Copies of this chain bind each other. A is one copy, B any other.
Amino acid sequence: MSYTAPLKDMLFNIEHIARIDQVAALPGFEDAGLETAQAVLEECAKLNEGVVAPLNWEGDKNPSSFKEGKVTTTPGFKDAYKQFAEGGWQGLQHPASFGGQGLPKTIGAACIEMLNSANMSFALCPLLTDGAIEALLTAGSDDLKSIYLEKLVSGEWTGTMNLTEPQAGSDLAAVRSRAEPQPDGTYKVFGTKIFITYGEHDMAENIVHLVLARVTGAPEGVKGISLFVVPKFMVTADGSLGDRNDVHCVSIEHKMGIKASPTAVLQYGDNGGAVGYIVGEENRGLEYMFIMMNAARYAVGVQGIAVAERAYQKAVGYAKDRVQSRPVDGSMSAAAPIIHHPDVKRMLMTMRASVEGCRAMASVAAAAYDAAHHHTDADVRKQNAAFYEFLVPLVKGYSTEMSLEMTSLGVQVHGGMGFIEETGAAQHYRDAKILTIYEGTTAIQANDLVGRKTARDGGAGAKAIAAQIEKTEAELTKRGSAQSLAVAKRLTAARLAFVDVVEFIAANTRSNPNAAFAGSVPYLLLAGNLMAGWQLARSLLVAEDQLAAGVDAAFMQSKITTARFYADHILSRAPGVRDAIVEGAESVTALAAEAF
């Protein structure tokens, strides 16, 4: 059940794929070079391998429980959270002015992956706190910032995001929670929120809820939604905790996975109204919430990578240990560890290549985020922001859909033992399924990709990325090695498929929206596949250079083989997906609802 952080691969990405040297050249990140990255990652690995990872299975066996309004987390969680907070990990990427360490996302993303590989249920608490910090940094008044940010950044308090209501899942226009303005400038908040991750727990002394609600008299639909801070305990003038606010947990859900993470139903205002403080301006809540959600969506994508990595490590361990049957190639005269069977290797390589591809994609996205926020040149910031924005639905959608297949393979490698809960492989399979749902389902990510990220500029941004990929293809061809040529072939085919689809989407989103959106999720999967495959193709070029330079031959050889595997076995899916989207839209929506 153990976990070892994949530091080599993470640092390979940080150094060569995300180019930490360029990140460290940005103002404010002068100290965030490769050495810092290495030191931070090693320290992070210690905490996660030693403290957080061992609690993962315990959380599944002994989930958070609810009794009389209180949630008790899994034994060990409270102490592990204390160590996490005291180590300064909550503040890793947050501003030094509020007690954070101000490190770039390029480094932070690797730490988030480790925490989630170690324990996805545990990691959700800091993930949501990050979102709350982000929202307050963006739109909070100076008062709100001074009262809440330090406590959140230090991890003393935790944060939540309150969007969903029973009748309003993906459709936030349907939010009904309401906020009545009070003479003192505060609001009284009323309503029911569901699916609130860590909405109630015992790991921190206060919980800062960020809540979507409608101010009395606000317009209908998404333009009448405001964002509020509603603390569990009121904060007094001196910063200490005061009265209990009128927000209460009435139950937690019985879920298929991430059982240690309490998913709360929260009731606001049953006793006169919960005191809320507006974040930014009235009726602009959705805008602020999207900032939190974009950060959270990226992080959920990393969760997909993380859980697939953990499942991979577990499968590798079993495959090396379990002895069964002789290898088909006659290389051994007796039964051998199953890793020597080709199909077991195929499964392990599929997991490895998918994880490495998605990790490289996420790493590049993180570097783009850093440049988008810190570069001195406005044009460069804009370009990087556009690239990052394009990648967010792919990191979220593709990495998490990938994690379903990978955690399934993780069970499969274990054979019958994989189906027995005590083995632990099944937990990852159950845990992963939430990832394609929360923070916006894959379809919601795909809507974002189709609408805002592709159709809005007529596909220009997407095609600009395709042009970058073409340059990598040219480099691969110029390199001329057997592996680089093979990868170039698949990359070209996938890129051409992508461009076809981009043109189809751009042409149809307005004129024939059913056709465009019939292909939205397949388009997302194709695009994510291409981005991951592209980054592995870049990895291959780097690894061949490093190999030639005599650096870490075994590791570089593995990177090359993994890139080749990805190209032939995963990237090769792309042209078929193109056909389904471009030539197959009609049959998706042809049947009327009554025909089902």
List A residues at the B interface (Cβ < 8 Å): 164, 167, 169-171, 173-174, 194-195, 253-257, 316, 319-320, 323-325, 328-330, 335, 337, 339-346, 348-349, 352, 404, 408, 411-412, 415-416, 418-422, 426, 429-430, 433-434, 436-438, 441-443, 446, 486, 490, 513-514, 517-518, 520-522, 554, 557-558, 561-562, 564-565, 567-569, 572-577, 579-580, 583-584, 586-591, 593, 595-596
Knowing A579-B568, A587-B565, A591-B561, say if A421 contacts B486 (CB, 8 Å). Answer: no
**A256 pairs with B591, CB closer than 8 A:** no
Residues of B within 8 A of A169 (CB): 324, 415-416
A427 to B192, alpha carbons, bound, how many Å?
Answer: 27
Q: Output the least CB separation between A94 and chain B (Å).
A: 28
The reply to whether A342 and B589 form a contact with Cβ atoms under 8 Å apart is yes
A419 near B255: Cβ-Cβ < 8 Å? yes
Main secondary structure of the interface of A (DSSP, over half): helix
Chain B residue, CB-CB nearest to A434: B419
Residues of B within 8 A of A194 (CB): 416
15 A-B pairs with CB atoms under 8 Å apart are: A169-B415, A170-B415, A194-B416, A316-B596, A328-B514, A343-B446, A349-B591, A415-B441, A429-B433, A486-B583, A561-B591, A564-B587, A567-B584, A568-B583, A572-B577
- What are the 10 tightest A-B residue pairs by CB atom distance, in nearest-first order? A568-B584, A565-B587, A256-B426, A342-B517, A343-B443, A328-B513, A171-B325, A342-B518, A564-B587, A572-B576
CB-based contact A588/B349 at 8 Å:
yes
Partner of A584, one of B442, B572, B576: B572
Alpha-carbon distance between A438 and B517 when the two chains are bound, in angstroms: 38
Please judge, given known A-B contacts A575-B576, A576-B575, whether A596 and B419 are in contact too, CB under 8 Å: no
CA distance A330 to B443 in the complex (A): 18
Check if B342 sits within 8 Å of A421, measured CB to CB.
no
B254 in contact with A421 (CB, 8 Å): yes
Structural contact, B415 and A514, CB atoms closer than 8 A: no
Give Cα A596–Cα B589 distance, bound, in whole angstroms.
44
A514 surroundings in chain B (CB, below 8 A): 328-329, 342
Contacts A328-B514, A591-B561, A593-B320 given; does A418 touch B430 at CB 8 Å:
no
A328 to B515 CA separation, bound complex (whole angstroms): 10
State A554–B419 Cα separation when bound (angstroms).
41
Q: Are A565 and B589 interface neighbours, CB within 8 A?
A: no
Identify the closest chain B residue to A509 (Cβ): B328
Contacts of A561 in B (CB 8 A): 587, 590-591
Q: Which residues of B contact A421 (CB under 8 A)?
A: 254-256
Which residues on B sit within 8 Å (CB–CB) of A433?
408, 411, 418-419, 426, 429
- B-side contacts of A195, CB under 8 Å: 416
Task: Let me know if A412 and B587 touch, CB within 8 A.
Answer: no
Q: Are A437 and B415 in contact (CB under 8 A)?
A: yes
Cβ contacts under 8 Å, A567 to chain B: 584
Contacts of A256 in B (CB 8 A): 411, 419-421, 426, 429-430
Name 19 extra pairs, CB < 8 A, besides A174-B324, A429-B433, A572-B579: A169-B416, A170-B325, A194-B416, A254-B422, A342-B520, A343-B446, A343-B517, A343-B520, A344-B443, A349-B591, A404-B408, A408-B433, A411-B433, A415-B441, A564-B584, A565-B587, A567-B584, A572-B584, A576-B576
How far does the Cβ of A570 sit from chain B's closest Cβ, in whole Å?
Answer: 8
Q: Please name all residues of chain B whose beta carbon is closer than 8 Å to the beta carbon of A557 when the two chains form the complex.
A: 595
Q: Which residues of B are found within 8 Å of A411, using beta-carbon distances?
A: 256, 433, 437
